[in-house]
Structure 1
Amino acid sequence: MSAKKILLIAGDFVEDYEIMVPFQSLLAVGHRVHAVCPGKAAGDRIATAIHDFEGQQTYTEKRGHDFILNAAFADVEAENYDALVIPGGRAPEYLRLDPQVIALVQQFFAADKPVAAICHGAQLLAAAGVIKGRTVSAYPACRPEVELAGGTYADIAIDAAVTDGNLVTAPAWPAHPAWLNQFLGLIGHALGESGLSQAA
C-alpha cells in the first residue's frame, strides 16, 4: 500500500469527533493528511463543537477542543492530493460561501478522486453542485439540501455509511467505523476481513 496524500477542509466549530477521528485515524494507518481552513496557516487553531444526541429533538452543542491545522489553505491545489475529507459540524454552512472552497470540491469530483463527507458536510457538496444523481447520506436535517441539489437522500442508520462512485457519506460521527472503512477502500488501502487495516 502506498501512502495517500489527503486534504481535509475544516473551519471554526467543525464537529470535534468528525475532525479528530478521521485526521488521527488516517495518519495512524500511514497516510498523509493536510488539515486546512480558509484564511489560516499551519500552526493556527480552529475551535471545534461537540454535537451529541441526548434525547432532545435535535443534537446538543458544546464547545470542544482546539484543533491545530498542519497546512496552509493558500498553498492547496487539488491536483496535489489523492482524496478529500469534509467533516461536519457548523463549519460547512459558511465554508460553502467561499468560492475557493467550492472550486476545490468541484476539482476533486471532476478528477473522480475519492471524497468522504459526513453529517453537515453534505451542505458543502450541495453548494458545489456535485451530488446530482448521487445517493448521499447526511445529518437528517440536511435532507432538503441533498434533494434540492438533485441527490437521493440515503435514509440509513446513524452508524451506517453509503458509497456512490467516488463518494462515501454518513449521517454523523457514530458512523465513523463504517465511513472510514469505506473511505479506506476507496483510496486503495488494504482491509482485513474484520475491516481493520492490514499492513502491506
Structure 2
Amino acid sequence: MAAKKILMLVGDYVEDYEVMVPFQALQMVGHTVHAVCPNKKAGDFVRTAIHDFEGDQTYSEKPGHNFVLNFDFAQVKAEDYDALVVPGGRSPEYLRLNAAVLELVQAFDDAKKPIAAVCHGPQLLAAAGILNGRECAAYPACGPDVEMAGGRYVELDVAAVHVEGNLVTAPAWPAHPAWLAGFLTLLGTKITL
C-alpha cells in the first residue's frame, strides 16, 4: 500500500477526540495528514472542545486541548490530496460559511476521493451541496441539515458507520473504530497483524 496524503479541515472548537484520534491514527498507519484552518498557518493552533454524553438531552461541552496545525490553509490544493477528513464539533457550523472550504469539499467529491465526516462534519458536506440523493449519517441534530440538502439522513447507533460510495459518515466519536476502518478500506489501507 502506498501512503496517502490526507487533508483535514478544522477550526476553533472542533471536537477534541474527532480531530486528535484520526489525526494520530492515520499517521500511525503511514499516511501523511495535513490539518488546516482558514486564515491560519502551520504552527498556529485551534482550540478544541470535548463533547460527552452524560444523560442530558444533548452532549455536554468542556474545554479541550490546543490542537497545532501542521500546514498552511492558503497552500492547499485539492488535487494534491487523496482524501478528506471533516471532524465534528462546532467548527463545521462556521467553516461552511467559507467559500474556499466549500470549493475544497466539492473538488474532493467531484474527483470521487474518499471523504470521512463525523458528528457535525456532515454540516459541511450539506453546505457544499454534495449530499443530494445520497445517504449520510451524522449527529442526530444534524439530520435536518442532511435532509434539507437533499440527502437521506441515516440514523445509526452512536458506534456505527455508514459507507456510501466515497462517503464515510458516523454519528459521533464513539464510532471511531468503525468509522476509521471504513475510511481505511476506501483508502486501500491494509493492516496486517
TM-score category by the smaller chain?
A: over 0.9
1:198 aligned partner? 192
Q: Deviations over 1:107-127 (max 9, x none)?
A: 000000000000000110000
* 1:6-35 CA distance string (max 9 Å, x none): 000000000000000000000000000000
**2: CA distance, partners of 1:133 / 1:164:** 11
Following the alignment from structure 2 to structure 1, what is the Cα–Cα distance between the partners of residues 112 and 96?
20
3-state SS, counterpart of residue 70 of structure 1: coil
Alignment TM-score, normalising by the size of structure 1? 0.96
Q: Secondary structure at the match of 2:12?
A: coil
Instruction: Name the structure 2 match of 1:18.
Output: 18
Matches within 5 A, 1:1-200: 1-190=1-190, 197-198=191-192
User: What is the alpha-carbon distance in structure 2 between the residues aligned to residue 77 and residue 136 of structure 1?
Assistant: 25
Q: Could you report, residue by residue, the CA deviation over 1:131-155 in whole angstroms, capped at 9, with x for unpaired residues?
A: 1111100000001010111111111
CA distance in 2, matches of 1:154, 1:168: 12
Report the number of matched residues.
193
Where do 4+ consecutive residues of structure 1 move more than 4 Å?
Answer: none
Task: Supply the distance in 1 between the matched residues of 2:64 and 2:187 (Cα, whole angstroms).
Answer: 29
- TM-score normalised by L of structure 2: 0.99
Give the drift of 1:198. 2.2
Which consecutive unaligned segments of at least 5 residues does structure 2 have? none
Residue 106 of structure 1 and its aligned partner are, at CA, apart by: 0.2
Query: What RMSD in Å do the two structures reach over aligned CA positions?
Result: 0.7
Provide the secondary structure at the position in 2 that maps to 1:107.
Answer: helix
SS at match of 2:188: coil
Give deviations 1:140-190, integer Å, cap 9, x for gaps: 000101011111111110000010000000000000000000000000101
Give the percent of matched residue pairs that are identical in Structure 1 and Structure 2: 65
1:133 aligned partner, one-letter code: G
Aligned with 2:168: secondary structure? Answer: strand
